Amino acid sequence: MDVKDYMQRVGRAARAASRAIARADTLQKNQALLAMADAVERDSEQLIAANMLDLEAARQNGLEEAFIDRLTLSDKTIHGMAEGLRQIAALPDPVGEMDDFTYRPSGIQLGKMRVPLGVIGIIYEARPNVTADAAGLCLKSGNATILRGGSEAFHSNQAIARCVHEGLRLAGLPAEAVQVIETTDRAAVGELITMPEYVDVIVPRGGKGLIARISQDARVPVIKHLDGNCHVYVDDTANPDKAVAIVVNAKTQRYAPCNTMETLLVHEASAEFMLPKLAAPLWEKGVELRGCERTRIILGDQVVPAAEDDWYAEYSAPILAVKVVKDLDEAIQHINDYGSHHTDAIVSEDYSRTRRFLREVDSASVMVNASTRFADGFEYGLGAEIGISTDKIHARGPVGLHGLTSQKWVVLGDGQVRS
Amino acid sequence: MDVKDYMQRVGRAARAASRAIARADTLQKNQALLAMADAVERDSEQLIAANMLDLEAARQNGLEEAFIDRLTLSDKTIHGMAEGLRQIAALPDPVGEMDDFTYRPSGIQLGKMRVPLGVIGIIYEARPNVTADAAGLCLKSGNATILRGGSEAFHSNQAIARCVHEGLRLAGLPAEAVQVIETTDRAAVGELITMPEYVDVIVPRGGKGLIARISQDARVPVIKHLDGNCHVYVDDTANPDKAVAIVVNAKTQRYAPCNTMETLLVHEASAEFMLPKLAAPLWEKGVELRGCERTRIILGDQVVPAAEDDWYAEYSAPILAVKVVKDLDEAIQHINDYGSHHTDAIVSEDYSRTRRFLREVDSASVMVNASTRFADGFEYGLGAEIGISTDKIHARGPVGLHGLTSQKWVVLGDGQVRS
């Protein structure tokens, strides 16, 4: 197979299908989503059989347990995929939403209409459930999509694709609206990200290295997620109970997610009081603390000395960097300098300081007295999310259906001309 | 001067200044804008003297009259610049706008806050007035900016920069919030578009070739404007008077703008009646018609035969491509296939057809019974515009203050943690 030629055909077909899908009405799209969900559940045995092929190969290749875990399809994960598709069907359709209509002095009536982006290319790791999620989100938002999952999940993804296509067919929508790349050749990715004539935006998911490489080489806009180096700043006006609850939750509720806290900042005026209160439950859960000098003076030698690199680290592990700061200004400066502009929280009862934190911290999500772990599509009510953007243009933070659309201008007139 | 080194310093300074400007309150920003306007008017003699240097060089280099025209500063254009700055001061401040606050089932209150993008790089042709406009728009939207105007306007731009810096200084804002590149070395552009650590977005203005090249090489998101190939479709249900008024205005009110009509589509059921009515006033104004076969049968040999290229053409001249289409479907298909997704209008009294046109034409501005010439920042009430985007993500169509911002998520809690 000539990969370039194949990808050109895929791109052309996606562009053509994107028009049909943009026009499709809400009922038709929901029918397709519900039919996909039914097909996935009905065919669970075939899906698990296809997944077995991938799992065997992965074990033979000695891939690690966490990888195998993400690759595995079970009755439970298949049911989860189906439920995900049904939840997307239940979400309001963003396409065609009209807003902000006003009359201009010229007599024209001006407003905005929400419209699909067109064709979305998604590059993701070997997690078969993403195939169903991504197909569903793109379909509901009126976009055609080209999916390129990790090659280790090839058989699983092709089996899911058959269910997706059945759903599209039953709803009278073109199968090319969702195309799952039928080759494991890595060159397909290179083609996908350099076809601006057929692809409007790329969403890469996976490791930081992969995303950075795709962003570097893409000739198409990329909605990307790089690091999640999130902070909680405990002000000296913090309610201690809230501070402990939020810090423990933000660090230990789960270690892997990108919205988990990686650095704790504590105001020096209350550090001697707060740090022991915060450290005890963290240590109890086996979290290693890496602290600045002041932290070590207060908490003792059990705290590993923090190096400059620790302030940049996304540990994704039971490790936490801890720094005593002299005031709100130093906290904001530290977050803006070392953070990844993902999600940062202040714990404080001071009105003016919380206002300043919200305004001045340059992150996709800024929070007062809440755990950073809330920063995701489900908690924000977006339904599912296609990713969490750390970019500044288009969409920041969790990207759901709205993030897969944009707005065009609508002008309604009665024969107006410009003078 | 080492250009790479110089641009790195410019970038670092811009990043630092972007924080101060993001924090600046509305009053301070408006003071700066009004002081800039006053300085520009007060120093009009120095501006004209600096401009003379540029004009002499341009004439010696034999640059064409239209180029010299855009380069020239007069009392009138200087007054226009000052008025533009005052208008920007009068616009509402988009920074900090908060929207869509709702309580989530977890008890957190979730909403959005409008925030600056950070540092905006603007690359533009030799039009000194853009220096003041762009500085003003970026400042009001809370962004730091790096301006790189056409080298033929070097002295004019430096003189305007002095007025801009005076305004910033008087308002207590850092001069580095607006930096006008102090070298004409073309390598500066290459550096500017490849510093993602210091520049958040690039807005190129100018010829299509330049913009395509910048988009190709940029390592930073680009808000770009490529072609303006705009259409008016006259349906067989059109009110003939409205059709004539809109077609004549969309083509002849001005030939150069990107929102000028370049192709006219006419429904075949009314073509024999409408085409002569539409052609007469266009011919009277000296517009050359290039038509499909059917158009030539109806209007005669005065119509030049249109070639395939004519359907893609942005003439920016008194030339119009004309095609008879068999129905709304063909009109929409033609616009989506050959158009540039900029601005397209239907003239029709049919409810369902206008609704379909608005939904299915994939352009930044879609219009019913109004001239395409309305598609700009002033007519849309954005104040000024930094450009007109033909991209799909982030901002489509005229880009004003809102287009230079994005939204971050705000979470307000009372100690909520995730379960």
The one-letter amino acid at B333: Q
C-alpha pair distances (Å), B212 with each of A256, A391, B103, B184, B222: 40, 22, 45, 21, 10
For the residues of B249-309, what is the DSSP string, one character each?
HHHHS-SSSTTSEEEEEEEHHHHHHHHHHHHHHHHHTTPEEEE-HHHHHHH-TTSEEPPGG
Nearest to A397 among B241, B367, B408 (CB): B408
Asked if the Cβ–Cβ distance from A413 to B368 is below 8 Å, we say yes
Residue B146: predicted pLDDT: 98
C-alpha pair distances (Å), A150 with each of A210, A217, B147: 12, 19, 42
Q: Kind of pairing, strands B304-305 and B365-370?
A: unpaired
In chain B, how long is the greatest CA-to-CA distance? Answer: 78
Structure-derived torsion over alpha carbons of residues A132, A138, A144, A146, reported in degrees to the nearest 10:
-50
Of B391 and B111, more confident: B111
What is the least distance, in Å, from the CA of A159 to any CA of chain B?
A: 32
Interface test with A, best of B95, B108, B285, B408 (most A CBs within 10 A): B408
Is a pLDDT exceeding 90 seen at residue B385? Answer: no
Q: Average pLDDT of B204-217?
A: 87
What is the least distance, in Å, from the CA of A363 to any CA of chain B?
A: 7
Asked if the Cβ–Cβ distance from B223 to A359 is below 8 Å, we say no
Asked if the Cβ–Cβ distance from A370 to B22 is below 8 Å, we say no
Q: Are A260 and A229 in contact (CB under 8 A)?
A: no
Which structure tokens are listed for B57? Answer: 């060089």
Q: Which residue of chain B has the CA closest to A201?
A: B393
Nearest to A409 among B336, B397, B418 (CB): B397
Q: Which residues of B touch A408 (CB under 8 A)?
A: 362-366, 396-397
Is a pLDDT exceeding 80 seen at residue B1? Answer: no
Is a pLDDT exceeding 90 seen at residue B225? Answer: no
Is a pLDDT exceeding 80 seen at residue B145? Answer: yes
What is the least distance, in Å, from the CA of B394 to any CA of chain A?
A: 4
Residue B226: predicted pLDDT: 80
Distance CA A400, CA A6 (A): 30
Q: Which residue of chain B has the CA closest to A214?
A: B219
Q: Which residues of A touch B223 (CB under 8 A)?
A: 393
Asked if the Cβ–Cβ distance from A362 to B108 is below 8 Å, we say no
Q: Average pLDDT of B216-241?
A: 93
Interface test with A, best of B409, B410, B412, B419 (most A CBs within 10 A): B409
- Cα–Cα–Cα angle for A133, A138, A139, rounded to 5 degrees: 100
Query: Which residues, in sequence order, are bridge partners of residue A109?
Result: A103, A412
Interface test with B, best of A408, A410, A412, A414 (most B CBs within 10 A): A408
B138 closest CA partner among B158, B157, B118, B159: B118
Residue A351: predicted pLDDT: 98
Q: Which residue of chain A has the CA closest to B411?
A: A367
The dihedral built from the CA positions of residue B302, B303, B304 and B305, taken in this order, carries a sign that is negative
Residue A312: predicted pLDDT: 97
Asked if the Cβ–Cβ distance from A412 to B368 is below 8 Å, we say yes
Interface test with B, best of A358, A379, A392 (most B CBs within 10 A): A392
pLDDT tens per residue, range B65-122: 989 999 999 999 999 999 999 999 999 999 999 999 999 999 999 999 999 999 999 9
What is the least distance, in Å, from the CA of B52 to any CA of chain A?
A: 33
Asked if the Cβ–Cβ distance from A374 to B245 is below 8 Å, we say no
Nearest to B409 among A336, A380, A411 (CB): A380
Is a pLDDT exceeding 90 seen at residue B326? Answer: yes
Which structure tokens are listed for A415? Answer: 């024969």
B160 closest CA partner among B191, B134, B192: B134
Residue B235: predicted pLDDT: 98
pLDDT tens per residue, range A132-163: 999 999 999 999 999 999 999 999 999 999 99
Asked if the Cβ–Cβ distance from A393 to B201 is below 8 Å, we say yes
Q: Which residue of chain A has the CA closest to B25?
A: A359
Is a pLDDT exceeding 90 seen at residue B206? Answer: no
Q: Are A322 and A263 in contact (CB under 8 A)?
A: yes
Asked if the Cβ–Cβ distance from A408 to B363 is below 8 Å, we say yes
Asked if the Cβ–Cβ distance from A417 to B221 is below 8 Å, we say no
Asked if the Cβ–Cβ distance from B379 to A408 is below 8 Å, we say no
Residue A216: predicted pLDDT: 86
Q: Which residues of A touch B120 (CB under 8 A)?
A: none
- Cβ–Cβ pairs < 8 A, chains A and B: 219
Residue B391: predicted pLDDT: 87
Asked if the Cβ–Cβ distance from B113 to A380 is below 8 Å, we say no
Asked if the Cβ–Cβ distance from A381 to B410 is below 8 Å, we say no
C-alpha pair distances (Å), A5 with each of A12, A179, A191, A201: 11, 15, 9, 20
Q: How many of the other CB atoms lie within 10 Å of CB of B350? A: 15
What is the least distance, in Å, from the CA of B325 to any CA of chain A?
A: 20
Interface test with A, best of B12, B241, B416 (most A CBs within 10 A): B416
Residue B207: predicted pLDDT: 82
Nearest to B117 among A106, A393, A417 (CB): A393
What is the least distance, in Å, from the CA of B239 to any CA of chain A?
A: 9
Residue B31: predicted pLDDT: 98
- Per-residue HEC secondary structure of B352-414 comes to HHHHHHHHHCCCCEEEEEECHHHCCCCCCCCCCCCEEECCCCCCCEEECCHHHEEEEEEEEEE
What is the least distance, in Å, from the CA of A58 to any CA of chain B?
A: 33
Structure-derived torsion over alpha carbons of residues B166, B172, B177, B179, reported in degrees to the nearest 10:
20
Query: H helices within A187-239, ranges in order?
Result: 187-192, 208-217
Q: How many of the other CB atoms lie within 10 Å of CB of B185? A: 15
Asked if the Cβ–Cβ distance from A360 to B410 is below 8 Å, we say no
Helix axes of B75-90 and B128-140: crossing angle, nearest 10 degrees? 10
Distance CA A10, CA B304 (A): 38
Distance CA A358, CA B113 (A): 9
Nearest to B418 among A253, A394, A413 (CB): A253
Q: How many of the other CB atoms lie within 10 Å of CB of A273? A: 12
Q: Which residues of A touch B201 (CB under 8 A)?
A: 392-393
- Per-residue HEC secondary structure of B151-163 comes to HHHHHHHHHHHHH
Distance CA A355, CA A237 (A): 14
Asked if the Cβ–Cβ distance from B371 to A418 is below 8 Å, we say yes
B364 closest CA partner among A143, A14, A118: A118
Query: Which residues, in sequence order, are bridge partners of residue B408?
Result: B113
Q: Which helix (H) or strand (E) holds B230?
A: strand B230-234
Query: Which residues, in sequence order, are bridge partners of residue B321?
Result: B263, B290
Residue A210: predicted pLDDT: 86
Nearest to A242 among B410, B415, B418 (CB): B415
Length of chain B: 419
Q: Which residues of B touch A415 (CB under 8 A)?
A: 239, 241-242, 245-246, 369-370
ipTM: 0.94
Say which residue the tokens 């500063």 belong to: B73
The dihedral built from the CA positions of residue A238, A244, A249 and A255, taken in this order, carries a sign that is positive
Q: Kind of pairing, strands B319-325 and B288-291?
A: parallel
Residue A225: predicted pLDDT: 84
- How many CA atoms, within 13 angstroms, populate the side-chain half-sphere of residue B343? 28
- Per-residue HEC secondary structure of A329-379 comes to HHHHHHHHHHCCCCEEEEECCCHHHHHHHHHHCCCCEEEEEECHHHCCCCC
Residues of chain A short of pLDDT 50, as ranges, are: none
- How many CA atoms, within 13 angstroms, populate the side-chain half-sphere of residue B253? 20
Q: Which residues of B touch A360 (CB under 8 A)?
A: 19, 22-23
Q: Average pLDDT of B55-59?
A: 97
Q: Which residue of chain B has the CA closest to A360?
A: B23
Asked if the Cβ–Cβ distance from B371 to A96 is below 8 Å, we say no
Nearest to B380 among A22, A392, A409 (CB): A409
What is the least distance, in Å, from the CA of A176 to any CA of chain B?
A: 19
What is the least distance, in Å, from the CA of A32 to any CA of chain B?
A: 21
Nearest to B106 among A364, A379, A411 (CB): A379
Residue A54: predicted pLDDT: 97
Residue B224: predicted pLDDT: 87
What is the least distance, in Å, from the CA of A57 to any CA of chain B?
A: 36
Q: Which residues of A touch B397 (CB under 8 A)?
A: 408-409
pLDDT tens per residue, range B128-141: 999 999 999 999 99
Q: Which domains does chain A have, with CATH numbers?
A: 3-223+398-411 (3.40.605.10), 230-374 (3.40.309.10)
For the residues of B132-180, what is the DSSP string, one character each?
HHHHHHHHHTT-EEEEE--GGGHHHHHHHHHHHHHHHHHTT--GGGEEE
Q: Which residues of B touch A241 (CB under 8 A)?
A: 415
Nearest to A368 among B223, B391, B413 (CB): B413
What radius of gyration, in Å, describes the C-alpha atoms of chain A?
24
